[in-house]
Every structure is written in C-alpha cells, then in structure tokens.
C-alpha cells in the first residue's frame, strides 16, 4: 500500500499521471489529473481489496449475493477518499502540485446505473455491508448508457444519452479472462442419461459472452473492500468467427452489435414495465453470469452444491432478477445431475425477495410466448414449479379451486404470462416490503393468499440510507457540528444522533445549526447559478420536491399549491407582502414514454416562467427546476432544504428514501401517512412533522364509495380558481389547450386523488409557514428531526436483513 503521507501521495499521483495517462503534470488536462487521482486512491484500496477476497474465501462463511438490475452509485472519488481517510493528504498533496481537489472532483461523471429509489437503495446497502464487515458481492449490469441526461427545451424534457464512460472509467477492473457464456433461444430435448433417468437438454440457438467488470466497495475506515461485479455483453468468438469466415463481414458486425445491445442501455421506466424482449434478455444475462460466477469462481472446486445455501444467500432486488430461480434449478438438474426435489431443496433455501411496489401496473408479468421463445428450458421449469406449488395449495385448501387459480404463477389474461412476483414469493424463504405500512399492504392487498398460506414467510425491513454519503460527505458542516457535540461515533452508529436531543434547546447550538443551513444554502446557490444559471433568492424558505416524476407522487399537487398562492396574489385575495418568501425546487425525470409525466414537467416549467417574472409577486415566490436531477445534485440540494415534500397518495409510495435523507439533514417534512413517512413521523414526533391528507384506509374507503374529483372542484372555490387559471391558458403562451391532458385528467379521473387532498395540503402548508416564522421553534424541530432519525441508517436495515432474512453475521 502506498504510504499515508503527503509526500508518498504526491509521488504516487505523479507516477500515475506519467505512466497511466502518459502526460507530464504541466501538460495534463483536468481529466488526466482526475484519472490519475482516481488511480492513486484505488492503489490505496488495492491491498485491502485483495486481502478481503482472500479472507472471505478462506473463512468459507456465507456471502450475500445482492442481485439488482440497478445500482445508482453516485460519484466514487469522494467516497473512496473518505473510506481511506485520504482527504487531507490528497488536498495537501494536490496543492503541492498546484491543483485543487474540489476542481478535480467535478470532473467525475457519476455512474447513473439506476432509475431512482431501488437502484440507490442497492448502492446504500452494499456500502453498509462493507462497513459492517459482511461479505457481499453485488451483481448487476454494466450499462454502457445509464439513466438518460435530462435537458429542457422550451420547458419540455428532452433526453440525451448518458455517456458516462466517454472520458475513461477509472473505477472499474475488466476481467475478460473470467468471461461467462450465456445461452438464449433454441429448444429442449428429452434424452435418457447414462443412469437410465430421463433428462432434458437445452439446445440454445445463440449465445453471448458476459465480461465481468469489478468495482471496489470500500467499508468506512474498516479495511474491508467488497466487490460489485457488473456484467457487460460481448459477442462470443464462435458466433462471429463463423460468420466472418463465411465472408459476410457486415453480418458479422451486426452479430456483434446484436450481442452488445444487451448491456447497452438502462431502461428508463421505473413503474410500467413494457414487457420488452431486450429487457428480459438483460435480466437473464446478468443473472446467468452471476450464478455461474459464484459457483465456478468463488466456491472451491470440490464444493458440494447440496450445501450451496450455506455459502450464498441471494437477495432479489424486486422481481427483476427472479429468472435466477429457474436458472439455478436448471444448473443443478441439467448440469449437476440433481433430482428435481434435491434441486428445489437447495434453490428454495438460496433466495429471498424484496418487493418495492404496490402499483399493480408495476408488477412484472412476462408473456409465456416470449419467455418460452427466449428461455425454453426455464419456461418448462417455471411450469413445473407452478404445478408442484399448486399441488401444495390444493392440499392446504382442498376443494378451493378458485384459490388455486388465483394463486397460479401463470396469468391467463390479458395474455398468458408469468407473474414474476408469485414466482419470487414461492421460491423465496422470506419476502419483505420496504416500510412497515408497505409490508402490511403487501400482505393484505398484493399477496393475501400467499401470506395466508405462509404467514411466517413475510416480514418487513424498513429501508435506510447510508450516513457516509448522505450526511458525512454531503453535509460536512453539519457533520462537524454533530461530531463536536457528540463525538465521531455516529457515522457508523447512527442511533447515537439521539445524543443531540438536548442540544435542541441550547441557544449556541441552534445558532450554529442555522449557520450550517445558511452555508449549505449558499453552496447550493453558487452551484445552481453555475450549473443551471438559476438564481436562488436569499432568505427564502427552501421547499424541495425531488424524486422521479409520477402521478402517484403528486408533483401536480405541489404545483396546485404554488399556482393557488400565485392566483391569490394576482386576484388581490392576499397581499404579496403576506406571502412567506419561498423557493420551491423541483428535480424530476419522467420516463420518456410517460406522456402525463412529461406534460407535468412542461407545466411546471411554464408556471415557473410566469411566476418567477410576475412583478405582482414581488419576488416572494420562486420555482427552480434544475434539469437532470441525479445523485450528485441531491448531495448538494438535500443539505440546503428547509422543507421536504413527501406527498404521495397514502398507500402508493412503498417507502421513499429521499424522505429519510432530508430528515437526517435537518429538513422538516410535509407529508402524507405513506411509506416510511409513517415511521419518520412516529420517531420525530407529530409536532415536528406536517401531516396532511387521507390515510390509506380513508383512501380505500373513498375509492370504494366512488371518487369524483369534480365534486372538489365545484365545492372548493380556491381550487376552482387555481385550475381555471391553468385552463385559461395563462401559463401556456396563449394556447389554452396546451395542458388539457393534465388538467382534465385531474378533473375527471385523478387516480391519485390530488384534489381530495388539496385542502388539507394547503392547510398544512399554512402551519409550515407559521412554524417557519418562529425561527427558534423551527430550528428546534429541525434539530430534533436530525436527532431522532438515526433509525434510518442503511446499517440498521442491513442488521435487520442479517437477523430476519439472511441469518448470517459479520465476519469476526
């Protein structure tokens, strides 16, 4: 390991610059310098990485195999510097070279290999496992293009490709020698094996190569470095050589392109899976590589696969990787001579499943036609798992054929398809939701038959976020303040934030806390100016809503609140001087094919243009919508926020994790009784959380009774005036019909009941303003939010998984 001294660091850095980048310092570009810096930091981690691998293999303990189609990692440099405690040394060393760490940091393009919450959760979990010294391999896909880069053209979202690899990828280690072949298509054949047993053989039609790329996952100051292994697709030699030799070069190149397409791009939909063939190819591709990898590379050669569950526990991050279940069955039966029962015995011990949704349209159902064509052997195995399972159901509930039909993994309508959530549930030892309310609704509404049959299979693990990235790195000023008060232990033991509670009444601490918030706002102001040309006014309540754009998350409700305030000033119902100065920040990407979401983005931008320039408002209301919200922006935005908007319709947001990040950084939440908000409110206390809207039972009741949004429009004058202002064309450059789709959807359908919750939301915003006017009371609430949110560390989530699901423990 290079020495932990400034001199040693400088030597290493210059060496990397010269030998890796092939440039002298005086001729190097900022990108060269960044790449050399990354390599330098990597070198510090290398010995620990190798040692971790050796230690883990020797110990033969159980490894967590986290299977996730997404990892929304965020920038790597800062986290690596933190984990190696190199910040100070790097700062000084670079300064000696005439360079500025902060500038080099900005060179890094974050790996955005995920859509939102689910992908970011995976990143937090692998961080926590490394920090807690738990052996874990994260398995996923090395998308060449991650989540699209969002731009706005005349207020409309326009997507650009995310070329995160273009300037070099210093954090990855490709291992082409460890590539794995993955087969697709073809048919199956029956034959009689040497032992006289009838066997099945899969005769695939084509194949690709999976090339592993390893990434380091360093624990916080503990010497452990776990591995994230992402797979990239390549054409196999046999595949293109054959065609090359036939002389058809163009065809050979097409074949290559075809293979490489599999890991080319992340699907940007995160709620309505489209059943695209390429997506299924992606899922099988990374899962097949990952299973093969563990069995062939990580296990010793003579390992008895009957004991596989002693050595690996696979966590299915939603249903996306569940094709691993029939794949493991296939490997054991077709390639390792297991009987069906032996294979099932092993397989059903190896998997656990986390569900991240309640929306029916977000549940994956793959047409049997497609699955059978792409993976004929897996389709057979799924049918057989289903048969065996339904026999169990019939035994448990004799005569209840309707129930058996209901529980079948094979849906018959609208077309024959495999319900992946059912397959996941049947094959897993444990099934969990991601917040208490969600786990309850999962049992009661999504999988009631399954929870009746196997009540002990179901459990909850409330999500969490890593305090390393989302407090220590993103909010250094608050971190220092906390450490000065209670010592540094909180970074790996977040419940210790409790010790801050008494400080909520210490005047000097409150002043310092406000200074931190003000400094974070100033930092954000500078960033938004430079990044987006946006001016953030001084002294405003900073009201932030950042998350994917979705109807159920109700960005439109936030917008109605703003338009309502604006309308009241415009029509003289209230004086501008009486409006609490407020800047509302939105950050949101819409799935490119999601028309309503894109229209909502357009509407927000059009309202912003109008409100931000209206003299009547006297600068007291401002909307800022920086494009391309991502992890990097979140790290600057969240520490600056006063108010966190968590306003989904109750029962719709599985958990939310942004909500936790805000609370931990001293923002107060205005939110519904949904997802993890329920637990946040319980922990921080009613007084320090602005609750509004219907709760889930009330939503269900209103839905059952028949919801008519028009009633709210007709009976609520302010709501009517607000919607009428939009309908009048006030925000649409003279085209009154521009936003008809959004407004008429609210008026006629409003699936997520924004109008029903409008009044209550506005009232809660009134309470926000009241509290905000009382600086001392606000600060007290904010400090208590920090002090009482320690539960939401992903370290705690990991402890819960270890105890309730994985039944394993950190390495000793």
User: Which residues form the interface with ligand 26Q (CB under 6 A)?
Assistant: 115-118, 121, 267, 269-271, 273, 279, 320, 356-357, 362, 364, 434, 463, 653-657, 675
Cβ distance to ligand 26Q smaller for residue 282 or 429? 282
Query: Distance from first CA to last CA of the chain, Å, rounded?
Result: 23
* Catalytic annotation present for 661: yes
Q: Tokens 């696969």 label which residue?
A: 305
Cβ distance to ligand 26Q smaller for residue 271 or 765? 271
- Angstrom distance (rounded) from CA 164 to CA 169: 8
Q: Tokens 């909520």 label which residue?
A: 504
Cβ distance to ligand 26Q smaller for residue 444 or 733? 444
Cβ distance to ligand 26Q smaller for residue 362 or 453? 362
* Catalytic annotation present for 105: no
For residue 414, cis peptide bond before it (omega within 30 degrees of 0): yes
Q: How many beta carbons lie within 10 A of that of residue 33, not counting itself? A: 23
Helix locations, 87-165, DSSP H:
87-96, 101-105, 117-131
Of these residues, 553, 610, 636, 788, which one is catalytic?
Answer: 553
- Angstrom distance (rounded) from CA 690 to CA 709: 24
Cβ distance to ligand 26Q smaller for residue 144 or 318? 318
Cβ distance to ligand 26Q smaller for residue 108 or 364? 364
Of these residues, 598, 661, 730, 788, which one is catalytic?
Answer: 661
**Residue 362 has which token pair?**
């977000």
Q: Tokens 């054959």 label which residue?
A: 242
Q: Report the DSSP beta bridge partners of residue 233.
A: 210
Helix locations, 543-675, DSSP H:
555-570, 595-613, 631-637, 658-664
* Nearest approach, Cβ of residue 272 and ligand 26Q (Å): 8
Cβ distance to ligand 26Q smaller for residue 93 or 140? 140
Helix locations, 275-419, DSSP H:
277-293, 308-311, 324-330, 340-350, 368-374, 376-396, 401-407
* Nearest approach, Cβ of residue 423 and ligand 26Q (Å): 14
* Nearest approach, Cβ of residue 439 and ligand 26Q (Å): 11
Buried b (16+ CB within 10 A) or exposed e, 178-213: ebbebbbebebeeeeeeeeeeebebebeebbbbbbb
* Nearest approach, Cβ of residue 364 and ligand 26Q (Å): 5
Q: In this structure, are residues 250 and 143 in contact, taking their beta carbons and an 8 Å threshold?
A: no
Q: In this structure, are residues 652 and 671 in contact, taking their beta carbons and an 8 Å threshold?
A: no
CA neighbor of 440 nearest in space, from 655, 699, 661: 655
CA neighbor of 795 nearest in space, from 431, 461, 488: 461
Q: In this structure, are residues 239 and 207 in contact, taking their beta carbons and an 8 Å threshold?
A: yes
Q: In this structure, are residues 79 and 218 in contact, taking their beta carbons and an 8 Å threshold?
A: yes
* Nearest approach, Cβ of residue 792 and ligand 26Q (Å): 11
Of these residues, 120, 149, 378, 548, which one is catalytic?
Answer: 548
* Catalytic annotation present for 236: no
Of these residues, 42, 224, 356, 438, which one is catalytic?
Answer: 356
- Angstrom distance (rounded) from CA 62 to CA 810: 10
* Nearest approach, Cβ of residue 781 and ligand 26Q (Å): 24
* Nearest approach, Cβ of residue 157 and ligand 26Q (Å): 18
For 193-209, give the secondary structure using H, E and C. CCCCCEEEEEECCEEEE
* Catalytic annotation present for 190: no
* Nearest approach, Cβ of residue 189 and ligand 26Q (Å): 31
Cβ distance to ligand 26Q smaller for residue 594 or 713? 594
* Catalytic annotation present for 622: no
In a 3-state reduction of DSSP, which class is residue 264? coil
* Nearest approach, Cβ of residue 320 and ligand 26Q (Å): 6
- Angstrom distance (rounded) from CA 475 to CA 496: 17
* Catalytic annotation present for 62: no
Cβ distance to ligand 26Q smaller for residue 32 or 318? 318
Of these residues, 547, 610, 636, 780, which one is catalytic?
Answer: 547
- Angstrom distance (rounded) from CA 247 to CA 143: 31
Q: Which residues are catalytic?
A: 356, 547-548, 553, 657, 661
């Amino acid at each position: 390991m290079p020495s932990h001294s400034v001199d040693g660091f400088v030597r290493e850095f210059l060496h990397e610059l010269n030998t890796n980048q092939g440039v002298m310092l005086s001729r190097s570009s900022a990108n060269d310098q960044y790449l050399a810096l990354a390599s330098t930091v990597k070198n510090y981690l290398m010995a620990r990485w190798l040692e971790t691998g050796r230690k883990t293999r020797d110990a033969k303990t159980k490894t967590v195999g986290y299977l996730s189609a997404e990892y929304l990692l965020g920038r790597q440099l800062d986290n690596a510097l933190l984990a190696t405690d190199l910040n100070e040394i790097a700062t000084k060393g670079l300064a000696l070279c005439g360079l500025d760490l902060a500038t080099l940091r900005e060179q890094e393009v974050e790996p955005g290999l995920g859509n939102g919450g689910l992908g970011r959760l995976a990143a937090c979990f692998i961080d926590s496992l490394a920090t807690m010294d738990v052996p874990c391999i994260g398995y996923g896909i090395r998308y060449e293009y991650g989540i699209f880069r969002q731009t706005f053209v005349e207020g409309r979202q326009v997507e650009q490709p995310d070329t995160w690899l273009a300037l070099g990828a210093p954090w990855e280690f490709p291992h082409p020698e460890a590539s794995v072949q993955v087969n697709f298509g073809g048919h199956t054949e029956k034959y009689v094996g040497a032992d006289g047993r009838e066997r099945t053989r899969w005769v695939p039609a084509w194949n690709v190569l999976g090339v592993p790329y390893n990434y380091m996952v360093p624990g916080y100051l503990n010497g452990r470095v776990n591995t994230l292994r992402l797979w990239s697709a390549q054409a196999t030699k046999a595949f293109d050589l054959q065609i090359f030799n036939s002389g058809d070069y163009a065809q050979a190149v097409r074949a290559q392109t075809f293979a490489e397409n599999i890991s080319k791009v992340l699907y940007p939909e995160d709620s309505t899976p489209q059943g695209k063939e390429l997506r299924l190819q992606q899922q099988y591709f990374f899962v097949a590589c990952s299973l093969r990898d563990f069995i062939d590379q990580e296990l010793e050669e003579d390992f008895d696969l009957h004991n596989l569950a002693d050595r690996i526990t696979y966590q299915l991050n939603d249903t996306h990787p569940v094709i691993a279940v029939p794949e493991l069955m296939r490997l054991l039966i077709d390639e390792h001579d297991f009987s069906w029962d032996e294979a099932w015995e092993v397989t059903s011990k190896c998997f656990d499943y986390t569900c991240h949704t309640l929306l029916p349209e977000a549940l994956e159902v793959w047409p049997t036609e497609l699955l059978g064509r792409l993976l004929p052997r897996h389709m057979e195995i799924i049918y057989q798992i289903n048969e065996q399972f339904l026999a169990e159901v019939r035994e448990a509930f004799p005569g209840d054929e309707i129930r058996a039909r209901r529980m079948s993994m094979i849906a018959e309508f609208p077309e024959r398809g495999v319900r992946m959530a059912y397959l996941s549930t049947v094959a897993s030892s444990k099934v969990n939701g991601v917040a208490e309310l969600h786990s309850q609704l999962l049992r009661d509404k999504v999988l009631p038959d399954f929870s009746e049959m196997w009540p002990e299979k179901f459990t909850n693990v409330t999500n969490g976020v890593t305090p390393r990235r989302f407090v220590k790195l993103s909010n250094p000023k608050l971190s220092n303040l906390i450490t000065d008060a209670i010592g540094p232990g909180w970074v790996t033991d977040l419940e210790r934030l409790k010790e801050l509670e008494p400080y909520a009444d210490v005047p000097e601490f409150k002043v310092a806390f406000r200074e931190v918030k003000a400094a974070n706002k100033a930092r954000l102001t500078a960033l938004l100016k430079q990044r987006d040309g946006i001016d953030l006014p001084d002294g405003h309540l900073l009201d932030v809503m950042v998350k994917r754009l979705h109807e159920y998350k109700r960005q439109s409700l936030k917008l109605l609140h703003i338009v309502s305030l604006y309308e009241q000033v415009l029509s003289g119902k209230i004086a501008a001087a009486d409006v609490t100065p407020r800047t509302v920040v939105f950050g949101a990407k819409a799935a490119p094919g999601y028309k309503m979401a894109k229209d909502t983005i357009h509407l927000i931008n059009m309202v912003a243009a109008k409100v931000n320039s209206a003299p009547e408002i006297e600068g007291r209301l401002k909307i800022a919508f920086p494009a391309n919200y991502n992890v990097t922006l979140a790290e600057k935005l969240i520490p600056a926020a006063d108010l966190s908007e968590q306003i989904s319709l109750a029962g719709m947001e599985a958990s939310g994790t942004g909500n936790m990040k805000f609370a931990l950084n001293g923002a107060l939440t205005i939110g519904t009784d949904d997802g993890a908000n329920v637990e946040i409110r319980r922990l921080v206390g009613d007084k320090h959380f602005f609750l509004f809207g219907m709760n889930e039972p009330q939503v269900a009741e209103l839905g059952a009774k028949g919801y008519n949004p028009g009633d709210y429009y007709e009976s609520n004058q302010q709501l009517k005036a607000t919607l009428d202002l939009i309908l009048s064309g006030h925000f649409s450059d003279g085209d009154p019909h521009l936003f008809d789709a959004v407004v008429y959807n609210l008026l006629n359908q409003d699936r997520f009941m924004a109008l029903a919750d409008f009044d209550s939301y506005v009232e809660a915003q009134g309470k926000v303003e009241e509290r905000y006017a009382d600086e001392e009371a606000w600060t007290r609430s904010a400090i208590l939010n920090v002090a009482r949110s320690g539960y939401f560390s992903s370290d705690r989530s990991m402890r819960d998984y270890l105890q309730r699901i994985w039944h394993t423990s950190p390495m000793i």
